[in-house]
Amino acid sequence: MKNIKSVYFNEFGFSFLGNLLQEKNYSKIFILVDENTNQFCLSLFLSELATETSIEVIEIEAGEEFKNIETCTQVWYALSELGADRKSLIINLGGGVVTDLGGFVASTYMRGVDFVNVPTTLLAMVDASVGGKTGVDLGALKNQIGLINNPLLVIIDSRFLATLPAEQLRSGMAEMFKHGLIQSESYWGKMLNLSNLTLDDLDALIYESVLIKNNVVEQDPTEKSLRKTLNFGHTLGHAIESYCLQNTDRQTLLHGEAIAIGMVLAGFLSVEKLNFPKEKCFEIKETLSQYFEKQYFKQEEIEEIVNLMKFDKKNSHGNINFVLLEDIAKPKLDCLIEKELIYRAFNYYM
Ligand code: NAD
Ligand code: ZN
């Protein structure tokens, strides 16, 4: 596998990091982990890390509910107490929560120190760790605080996935499906048939997914147009994710689980608005239903979800903007959708 810009795979990643550490002569290395990546990923990572520089480990609590400014404060204090300076390096070893939050902390501590992402979930490998978006949630509002700043390097090594729970693996697959839907019919085709998947196949699919994301981000780093297509399924998906997180009587959904629902809904809206072929919309629904358990929403819940969308950063002047599909790999931006159609989309999904 070739490297993709600053994304390096497997042993190439670790040897590149080794060289970087020699060249840059950092004062100290701080590895940010959560409880799980401390337990499951740190020893493998350390066994591959060749350096004389002293290392400190900072642990945060695991889970989206800790992706907030309070956790950042804890990490800023820990860095300060452990003597981090502008010549320090932060290595984010974890899922999207650790890479998003760690990237933000690194970008703001002393006006910014270097950081490296080592994603340990499938979702973080194919999506969160690449593209430079960093940040945290504000209450139930996802990723409301943040900035764009690229890591020096991303190391992707699928050995970390060995301990990842199955539902987390599926959550990451949702973003891989999305990459096919918005950019590549052939990749979507490969994702339709995942039976007898070997580790090598998975590596190749991860590689291609990162390639798609990186291409999009490179062409439009500041999300003026093309990058917005990565939000396919996310307008409603984020609102569903926020709604479930906020409501104690609802089971919280993983990011990919919510986005999978969002993609089916966006598929329906695409049929209605852009003549996206009905049978392809059905294919999306059927394929995703093999991986993601159906969720049911009451009328009043759908209303609350629609209300939450008004706060999504991608919307302006009270309009709800969607990325829809004219066809597979033919996304269309800025499709304005009226409320009524959203209710019908939920009916189609359920
Ligand atoms: P996560 O970081 O919460 O990880 C999921 C769970 O898996 C956590 O409990 C974690 O501790 C555990 N875990 C991580 N690696 C493990 C391993 N190897 N073995 C066992 N357990 C492990 O969540 P995620 O799904 O990786 O990422 C979701 C986050 O990513 C969301 O906050 C989302 O907003 C963000 N995101 C960001 C971008 C971006 O462009 N920056 C893109 C997509 C998603
Ligand atoms: Zn996503």
In a 3-state reduction of DSSP, which class is residue 249? coil
Give the count of beta carbons closer than 10 Å to the beta carbon of residue 156. 27
ipTM for the whole complex: 0.99
∠ CA 202-328-269 to the nearest 5 degrees? 115
Residue 58 in tokens: 């900072």
- From 36, 66, 238, the mutation candidate for ligand 1 (largest count of ligand atoms within 8 A of CB) is 36
Closest CA to 309 of 344, 336, 349, 270: 336
Pairing relation of β-strands 330-336 and 321-327? antiparallel
Q: Which atom of ligand 1 is nearest to the CA of 97?
A: 2
Please give the distance, rounded to the nearest whole angstrom, from the Cα atom of residue 4 to the centre of ligand 1. 21
Nearest Cα residue to atom 4 of ligand 1: 95
Which residues in the chain show pLDDT less than 70? 1-2, 311-319
97/74 Cα distance (integer angstroms): 15
In a 3-state reduction of DSSP, which class is residue 154? strand
> Which phi and psi (to 5°) does residue 263 adopt?
-70, -35
In a 3-state reduction of DSSP, which class is residue 114? strand
Return the pLDDT at 247: 86
Measured CA distances, 189 to 193, 317, 324 (Å): 7, 38, 19
Nearest Cα residue to atom 42 of ligand 1: 128
Q: For residue range 13-32, list pLDDT tens digits in order.
A: 999 999 999 999 999 999 99
Nearest Cα residue to atom 32 of ligand 1: 97
- From 71, 97, 231, the mutation candidate for ligand 1 (largest count of ligand atoms within 8 A of CB) is 97
Measured CA distances, 222 to 86, 236, 276 (Å): 26, 22, 28
Query: pTM for the whole thing?
Result: 0.92
259/171 Cα distance (integer angstroms): 9
Please give the distance, rounded to the nearest whole angstrom, from the Cα atom of residue 134 to the centre of ligand 2. 13
**Alpha carbons within 13 A on the beta-carbon side of 52:** 4
- Residue 240 contacts residue 305 (beta carbons within 8 Å): yes
DSSP calls for 181-216: HHH-HHHHHHHH--TT--HHHHHHHHHHHHHHHHHH
Determine whether the shortest distance from the Cβ of 120 to ligand 1 is under 6 A: yes
Please give the distance, rounded to the nearest whole angstrom, from the Cα atom of residue 255 to the centre of ligand 2. 6
- Residue 71 contacts residue 136 (beta carbons within 8 Å): yes
Give the count of beta carbons closer than 10 Å to the beta carbon of residue 228. 18
- From 65, 136, 168, the mutation candidate for ligand 1 (largest count of ligand atoms within 8 A of CB) is 168
> Which phi and psi (to 5°) does residue 251 adopt?
-70, 130
Q: Which atom of ligand 1 is nearest to the CA of 160?
A: 18
Return the pLDDT at 195: 78
- From 121, 155, 161, 177, the mutation candidate for ligand 1 (largest count of ligand atoms within 8 A of CB) is 121
Measured CA distances, 100 to 19, 90, 319 (Å): 25, 13, 28
Determine whether the shortest distance from the Cβ of 217 to ligand 1 is under 6 A: no
Measured CA distances, 199 to 212, 221, 254, 256 (Å): 20, 31, 24, 21
Determine whether the shortest distance from the Cβ of 108 to ligand 1 is under 6 A: no
Q: Which residues of 103-115 are buried (b: 16+ CB within 10 A; e: fewer)?
A: bbbbbbbeeebbb
Q: For residue range 259-268, list pLDDT tens digits in order.
A: 999 999 999 9
